[in-house]
Amino acid sequence: MKDKKILLYAGTTEGRKLASYLGRRGVRLHVCVATAYGESLLPEEKNITVTHDRMDSGQMGEFMRVFEPDYVIDATHPYAKEVTKNLKSACEVMQVPYLRLVRGSEETKESICVENMDEAIKYLEKTEGNILVTTGSKELESYTRLTDYESRVYARVLSIGQVAVNCEELGFSGRHLICMQGPFSTEMNRAMLKEYDIAYMVTKESGLAGGYPQKCQAALETGVKMVVIGRPEEEEGMNFEEMSKFLQKELELDNHWKVTLVGIGAGARDQVTLEAKRCCQEAELLIGAGRMIEAVAEVGQTIYEAYRPDEIISYIKENPEYENVTIALSGDTGFYSGAKKILELTKDDPQIETKVVPGVSSIIYFASKLGVTWEDAALVSLHGRKENLMAVIKENKKVFALVSNAEEIRQILTKMTEYGMGEVTVRIGTELSYKNEEIQTGTARSLLHYKGENLAVLYIENESGGESPVIPAIPDDTFVRGDVPMTKEEVRSISIAKLKIKKDAVVYDVGAGTGSISVEAAMVATQGNVYAIEQKVEAQELIRENARRMHVDNLHVIEGMAPEALEELPAPDCVFIGGSKGKLYEILDAIRKKNPFVRVVLNAISLETMMQVLKYTEENEIEEAEVIQVAVSRAKKVGSYHMMNGQNPIYVISFTSRPAKNEADPENEDDFVLEEINLDEVEPEDMTGDMAGDIVEDITKVISVGDLTPEKIREEMEESE
């Protein structure tokens, strides 16, 4: 930055804005204002000095001689003709470059134009109704010439003590004296016009910085007639944008932007949050797509229509005069929004400081209109994106989707029908939050020939969604095992599939061992809970360690033995039994009492256990009992060859319980109980070779079933080898 000094005469909003612009860039600046109040409005920067003494041409020249400015900038009010005349004269004498900062002129609409104050008073004298005067306190005395001025006129003046005193001396007090600092928004002007039942508003054509467009808009919306006192002849000079660009180039100023990314909600103006509205109103530059701008732009505000992030950033950097920039984005900034790309483009740029203001997304708005929750729904967007929507619908009961056009909607509905989801409920929301908002409800099949607006939100409610679980199939060596037996991955994968676990299921793993079944069940029941029931302390610690390794926080270790350990647990949807310690019937009775429709899967290595389970299902009239045998062989390298090493067959038994028609008769129960072999206590490789005899001896009690005896079991096992 070049080391130059600026002398600024600031009596307007543009002048204060320019002082702030230069002050933040470290320019040595002296600002002259007319009053102490004007001084209080200026930014506090160490490189800015201020005086509030009124000067004539000679005093101005003397100050220039002492301060030695490189430029003198005249930012006084358009009506301060005498100050401008003196300042030009002093600059000419001292041979200092003079720059004029002017306000942009605005067209006068729906108003009565008069040349001066006298004409305004003459016009108003012929009218009836309340008058809001916004021309300042200096000319307020002229209004006392109006008949009944004390009851008709409401004066809006600066909130300065002496000004209020002067107004009261003229007869303006109480509700008729409004002390406030402007400029004012359209909403504020509109509220005042309605509150005081105003018929005429008197103003000067003070440009954008003076809030003139906002006055016009408020008057138009409320039916108030404006009386506009014409401004002086058009001046030559530069507006704020031109002046800041000129100084930026001449002084080689550094640039800095504050960029706010604002989510404006579903679209209609009344859906914009208060914070988002404030950020848009205060922006020096408002950027966004046409529809977004239309929802939030103020009358006369500087806007730039664009939606591509790279184009937006380029425009901001090409226009350093706009330091406070707001980018209006549809919906919410965190949900498939252009904010993501803009933040990526600016994150490493030291010149751009970003802030994010969220909005209400169209999906949230649509959910509220339908009276449904979205916390448990899948949210997707098809705006310029590819999404496997059929899979999302299959895996979820509730889906919200942003769609681009009617043709895309018809394609989705057609595919749903072709994929057997023609009767699934679909609701289509278009023009959400606008006056012509429309919501259509039907099935995918009934809405096939949909003809609606382009942008839309779909809500798809699939009652059978999420019933097809994904089986993790984790390799055995991923688990920590210690000395505790573990169900092998091939058998585990089949067992998990047979359990038919849903996302929100409650699952028991009885005799959990290392917790391999529990972990995989927890990965499927992501919104449910898994209870691993285990008696051995060593195994309990292994389950906890494996749960931490696999990041499953919905797995709970229950210390103890079933069925006693099940008493305080919630009713299960699915139960896997890997070991029962001779209490199989008691466990089955306990879980069926908690849930008569429970899904059960057991693993067995002996015919006795299988027969015991089948007998139980027959006695209790349980249907759909299924038994499959799993025989797995793994290749093992022997020398330069690979040979298959067969493992002992495993029985996977599964059934869905049904309520018993009659209570079981104890007298008719068979007089034998088998203690089944717990698979989590027996490894398949242990069942081969000379180990077969050892496993048979581990069976604590086997009572005859027909011709089957312990000796015959031993013989059959040895023969099978």
Determine which of 100-109, 377-386, 433-442, 461-470 has the lowest per-residue pLDDT on average.
100-109
- Sheet bearing 257-263, strands edge to edge: 303-305, 285-288, 324-329, 257-263, 352-357
pLDDT beyond 60 at 507: yes
Say if residues 620 and 649 touch (Cβ distance below 8 Å). Answer: no
Go through the domains of the chain in sequence order and give each one's CATH number: 5-100 (3.40.50.720), 111-229 (3.40.50.620), 255-357 (3.40.1010.10), 362-461 (3.30.950.10), 489-657 (3.40.50.150)
Peptide bond into 563 cis (omega under 30): yes
Q: Quickly state the pLDDT bin for 453 (edges 50, 70, 90).
A: confident
pLDDT digits (tens, 9 = 90+) for 273-282: 999 999 999 9
Tokens read off for 194: 């309605």
Say if residues 260 and 325 touch (Cβ distance below 8 Å). Answer: yes
Average pLDDT along the chain: 85
* Phi, psi (rounded to 5 degrees) for 62: -65, -40
Give the count of beta carbons closer than 10 Å to the beta carbon of residue 46: 7
Reduced 3-state DSSP string for 159-218: CCHHHHHHHHHCCCCHHHEEECCCCCCHHHHHHHHHHCCEEEEEEECCCCCCCHHHHHHH
Average pLDDT over residues 65-88: 89
Q: Quickly state the pLDDT bin for 495 (edges 50, 70, 90).
A: very high
The SS3 of residue 70 is: coil
* DSSP element (H, E) containing 589: helix 584-594
- Cα 376 from Cα 396, distance rounded (Å): 9
Tell which wins on pLDDT, 182 or 402.
402
Class of residue 436 by CB neighbours under 10 A (exposed 0-12, middle 13-18, buried 19+): exposed
Q: Quickly state the pLDDT bin for 693 (edges 50, 70, 90).
A: very low
> Count H helices, E strands: the chain?
24, 30
pLDDT for 704: 38
pLDDT for 672: 38
* pTM of the full structure: 0.60
Say if residues 210 and 13 touch (Cβ distance below 8 Å). Answer: yes
pLDDT for 334: 93
Of 207, 158, 214, the C-alpha closest to 188 is 214
Relative to beta strand 153-157, strand 177-179 is parallel
Rounded to whole angstroms, what are the CA distances from 596 to 105, 590, 593?
Answer: 81, 10, 6
Q: Is the dihedral of CA 360, 361, 364, 366 positive or negative?
A: positive
Tell which wins on pLDDT, 67 or 210.
67
- Cα 208 from Cα 357, distance rounded (Å): 26
Tokens read off for 453: 């607006």
Q: How far is CA 229 from the centre of its chain?
A: 48
- Cα 303 from Cα 326, distance rounded (Å): 10
Rounded to whole angstroms, what are the CA distances from 218 to 108, 181, 229, 481?
Answer: 13, 18, 18, 76
Of 448, 477, 478, 442, the C-alpha closest to 460 is 442
Say if residues 717 and 648 touch (Cβ distance below 8 Å). Answer: no
Average pLDDT over residues 702-714: 47
Helix then strand then coil, in percent of the chain rounded to 5, is 35, 20, 40
Q: What is the C-alpha radius of gyration for the chain, rounded to an integer number of angstroms? A: 41
Q: Any idea how long the chain is?
A: 721
Relative to beta strand 130-133, strand 111-114 is unpaired
pLDDT beyond 70 at 155: yes
Determine which of 11-15, 206-210, 237-241, 666-670 has the lowest per-residue pLDDT on average.
666-670
- Cα 119 from Cα 113, distance rounded (Å): 9
